[in-house]
A and B are shown apart, each in its own frame.
Chain A
Amino acid sequence: MNIEVRQPVHGAKDSGKARVGIFDCDIHPKSSLEDLRPYLSNRWWDYLQTYGQRQRHGYVKGFPYPKSQPLASRRDSWPPGGGLPASDLDFMRQQHLDFYGIEWGIMNPLSPTGQGEQNDELSAAMAFAANEYQLEGWNRRDPRLKASVVIPYENGEMSRAEIRKRAGDRRFAHVLFLSRTSELLGKRRYWPIFEAAVEAGFPIGVHVFGSSGRPMSNTGWPSFYVEEITEHSASLAASVTSLIVEGVFERYPELKIVLIEAGFAWIPSLGWRLDQNWKRMKDEVPHLRRAPSEYLREQFWVSTQPMEEAEEPDHVLDMMAWIGWDKILFASDYPHWDFDDPFVALPPGLSEERRNKIYSGNAKALYRLD
């Protein structure tokens, strides 16, 4: 939710509580197409100037569902010196990284990155450029900010090539998908990506949004932005199901999937439903050696933002326990409007140990960034 504009509290009296350094799994640095230019060929630069991007939706600029506010960003996140929210590292430090004591942050760039672009070649060129700019424009200047390996995910082989370029580079934290892929994520076309990620030791981060080119729901196009953002967990549930049922984790047992900005309370129910279907119809999927909920429990991690809020707070704690206290990672979603303030986002009543795991321990174990 929008938060009040606050001044940095350097030197101010804190609550006195010792805080662990926070590992923020979802920060959205904003680059411009101009920023990517040094890493794009003339061909693609000229192409973008003339034809622009075609991202499986109808608008040249803007979004199919207009956001609730400009660029879906916090009103106070526009840098005083000008530019777009999260485009100015100094202001990001002042407002977020330093203010909250972020020890590590993972950048999940959303646009322009070429992800979901109709033209695979252009998508691959832009992904490469987005990766180079994350290193040069951000990580080099502030090593707390880890990069995502942006890939042209609709083309498995091109994605594999990009992942191989980044293998062994510790400045990258994970491989990034947007959730609205053109097909379900477990389909064979994406397997080269999983193979390359496992080879390189990268988890896969799946961040909500993107344009699949299909209706937003399996019953057609809704009317409102509030429906679009609510629908993301539904589409992701279908892809999580696909990853499990297709046998991706039998083929790639080391594969780790991080669900970002998708909520998490829907996960236990999905596991129960799939287990029930599987028990009745195991003969359809003989390649699955375990109950679907076991893959869900072992291969997936979730991030906290937007933090689940039940009418009765202890209901959220049930869900967190059922998912596993070791599988939940803190995320802020800076600078977006539904940003979760690291100081107050987690539900009250968590033990110090569990808070520390969510704020930092679980992510450190997963990303091996110690």
Chain B
Amino acid sequence: MIGALAAIDCDVHPTVPAMTALSPYLDDFWRAAVVERGINSLETVTYPPNAPLTARPQWRDKNGRAATSAAELTAQVCDRWQAGIAILNCLYGVGLLFSEDMAFAFTRALNDWVAKEWLERDPRLRASIVVPLQNTEYAVDEIERCAQDRRFVQILVLAMQEMPLGRRHFWPIYAAAERHGLPLGIHAGSTYRHSITSLGWPSYYIEDYASHTQAFQSQLASLVCEGVFAKYPGLKVVLLESGVTWLPAFLWRFSKFWRGVRAEVPWVDRSPAEIVRDHVRLTIQPFDAPAEADRVERAIDHLRSDAILLYASDFPHWQFDGDETMPAGIPPALRRKILVENPLATYDRLTL
């Protein structure tokens, strides 16, 4: 069966065309609030709508939006790029809201919209459960609700949060994740609780986008140091749109300091590098790699794992040109693992 499947695309993005699209999935109170308060859009500056990165030009519709329907998305990622399965990670800005109640209502509507308007339309689609991290109880409720639908294969949160994800505050979410066989997907993005870098707000968007790398590092450090993987040994974490080549250097530094001061975190009883290789996976776009093929091969070698990378096109974000979904320089033997075997081993709910 595996042989028939060409690829599993672990990171594609359905676009919510407007807030009104979610109205049918809101109760009367919140539907009225959307109108009365003029809440037209929750698009975020993480992906400025007209910025080149946000969508490849030929994929944009007359309004400048891309990936606004299941048919449009599957035509590209499933038909043209041959993904037998694609996982929808909806980045609509419900995670930024400050009201816990509004966040819960809008998040529920978003997940219902994804199920109805996307999963129902194409059997090749799967989705992540967007969770209202603003309130841990609400987040767990939403996981319990959506997990009944086996087409939801992962929990989705943004990389920059109010506090690091390892904090004990969030642990009931990880208990639910483990219980239901749902990896924790951490996607590039911010809730804008803090400046986008730890030293303030950059002037340029390309700095914003690069700064996600630092958030992924902080989240891994937090998840390991707080003991999340000791407490929930079945938990898997997938870094989405994270880049990959930063990981080795981060693990060297982190593991070295852990050796020096590990008395501070005695529950971390082996090297963070090993823990991360056992529990964490990364998607391959954007592929933050050098131009030279031999350096790419070395950089991949530095990861010291053939299980850690997962295929993703990041559609409709403009990460590569043409149909070069698999970055040049990745050794042929690794391709098959990245395309199919590693995603299958990561997502318990993906079955053929």
What residues of chain A have their CB less than 8 Å away from a CB belonging to chain B? 1, 68, 180-187, 212, 214-227, 229-231, 233-235, 237-239, 241-242, 245-246, 263, 265-266, 268-270, 272-278, 280-281, 283-285, 306, 308-312, 315-316, 318-319, 322, 337-338
- Is B167 interfacial (CB 8 A cutoff)? yes
Stretch binding the partner chain, chosen from B59-67, B118-126, B140-148, B287-295: B287-295
**A-B pairs with the 7 shortest C-beta distances?**
A265-B249, A238-B197, A217-B218, A234-B214, A220-B163, A273-B288, A277-B206
**Contact status B190-A218, CB under 8 Å:** yes
A-B pairs under 8 A by CB, number: 238
Q: For residue A181, which residues in chain B have a CB less than 8 angstroms away from its CB?
A: 199
Q: Which B residues lie within 8 Å of A186 (CB)?
A: 203
Q: Is the CB of A285 within 8 A of B206?
A: yes
Q: Which B residues, 189 to 232, have Cβ-Cβ distances below 8 Å to chain A? A: 190, 193-207, 209-211, 213-215, 217-219, 221-222, 225-226
A-B contact pairs, 22 of them (CB 8 A): A68-B260, A68-B263, A184-B201, A187-B203, A215-B194, A219-B160, A226-B225, A226-B262, A226-B264, A227-B221, A227-B225, A235-B199, A238-B198, A265-B248, A266-B246, A266-B250, A269-B249, A269-B288, A269-B299, A270-B213, A272-B290, A338-B260
Which B residues have a C-beta under 8 Å from some C-beta of A?
51-53, 159-167, 190, 193-207, 209-211, 213-215, 217-219, 221-222, 225-226, 243, 245-246, 248-250, 252-265, 273, 286, 288-291, 295, 298-299, 301-302, 304, 318
In the bound complex, CA of A263 to CA of B251 (Å): 12
Set A180, A214, A310: member contacting B252, Cβ < 8 A: A310
Chain B residue nearest in CB terms to A316: B252
- Cβ of A281 and Cβ of B261 under 8 Å apart? no
- Give the Cβ gap from B53 to chain A, nearest Cβ, in Å: 6
Question: Distance in Å from the Cβ of B151 to the closest Cβ of chain A?
Answer: 29
The one of A212, A225, A338 in contact with B198, judged by C-beta atoms closer than 8 angstroms, is A212
Contact B200 A214 (CB under 8 A): yes
| Min CB–CB distance A224 → chain B (angstroms) | 5
Given contacts A222-B222, A242-B202, A281-B52, contact A308 B253 (CB under 8 A): yes
Would A68 and B199 count as touching, CB distance under 8 A?
no
In the complex, what residues of B have CB within 8 A of residue A278's CB?
Answer: 206
Given contacts A1-B260, A310-B252, contact A219 B304 (CB under 8 A): no
Candidates B194, B225, B248, B252; contact of A220 at CB < 8 Å: B194
Known contacts A217-B198, A218-B218, A272-B245: A311-B304 contact under CB 8 Å: yes
Distance in Å from the Cβ of A215 to the closest Cβ of chain B? 5
Once the chains bind, are B288 and A272 in contact (CB under 8 Å)?
Answer: yes
Partner of A219, one of B161, B209, B252, B261: B161
Chain B residues positioned under 8 Å from A316 (CB to CB): 252
Cβ contact within 8 Å between B194 and A219: yes
In whole angstroms, what is the CA distance A319 to B249 when docked?
Answer: 9
Q: Report the Cα distance A68→B259, complex, angstroms.
A: 12
Q: Nearest chain-A residue to B168 (Cβ)? A: A223
Given contact pairs A225-B261, A226-B265, A187 touches B200 in the complex (Cβ within 8 A): yes
**Residues of B close to A268: CB separation below 8 A:** 245, 290, 299
Closest to B290 in A: A272
Q: Are A270 and B210 in contact (CB under 8 A)?
A: yes
Q: CB-CB < 8 A to B289: which residues of A?
A: 272
Contact of B199 among A184, A221, A272 (CB under 8 A): A184
Most B CB contacts (10 A, CB to CB) among A216, A273, A311, A338 go to: A273
Interface centre among A233, A269, A318 (most CB of B within 10 A): A269
Q: Is A273 in contact with B218, judged by CB distance below 8 angstroms?
A: no
A211 to chain B, nearest CB (A): 11
Contact residues in A for B248 (Cβ distance below 8 Å): 265, 310, 315
In the bound complex, do residue B199 and residue A239 qualify as a contact, i.e. CB atoms below 8 Å apart? Answer: yes
Bound: A356/B215 CA distance, A: 37
Contacts of B253 in A (CB 8 A): 230, 233, 263, 265-266, 306, 308
* Cα–Cα distance between A215 and B304 once the two chains are bound (Å): 32
Whole-angstrom CA separation of A280 from B181 in the bound complex: 37
The smallest C-beta distance from A266 to any residue of chain B, in angstroms, reads: 4
Residue of A with least CB distance to B197: A238
Contacts of A216 in B (CB 8 A): 198
Q: Cβ of B52: which chain A residues have Cβ within 8 Å of it?
A: 280-281, 283
Q: Which residues of A sit under 8 angstroms from B291, Cβ to Cβ?
A: 275
What are the residues of chain B within 8 A of A337 when measuring CB–CB?
Answer: 260
Q: Are A276 and B159 in contact (CB under 8 A)?
A: no
In the complex, are the beta carbons of B197 and A235 less than 8 A apart?
A: yes
Q: Taking the nearest CB of chain A, how far is it from the CB of B126, in angstroms?
A: 27
B250 contacts which chain A residues (CB < 8 A)? 230, 233, 266
Question: Nearest A residue to B206 by beta-carbon distance?
Answer: A277
Verify B202–A231 contact, CB threshold 8 A.
no
CB-defined contacts of A270 to chain B, threshold 8 Å: 210, 213, 246
Tell me the minimal C-beta distance from B320 to chain A in angstroms.
10
- Distance, CA A234 to CA B198, complexed state (A): 8
CB within 8 Å for A238 and B218 given contacts A219-B160, A266-B246, A273-B246 = no
Docked Cα-Cα span, A284 to B256, in Å, equals 38
Residues in A with CB closer than 8 Å to B164 are 217, 219-223, 227
Interface residue from A212, A224, A246 paired with B225 (Cβ < 8 Å): A224
* A residues less than 8 Å from B206 (CB atoms): 245, 274, 277-278, 281, 284-285
Residues of B within 8 A of A231 (CB): 198, 217-218, 221
The chain A residue with its CB closest to the CB of B262 is A226
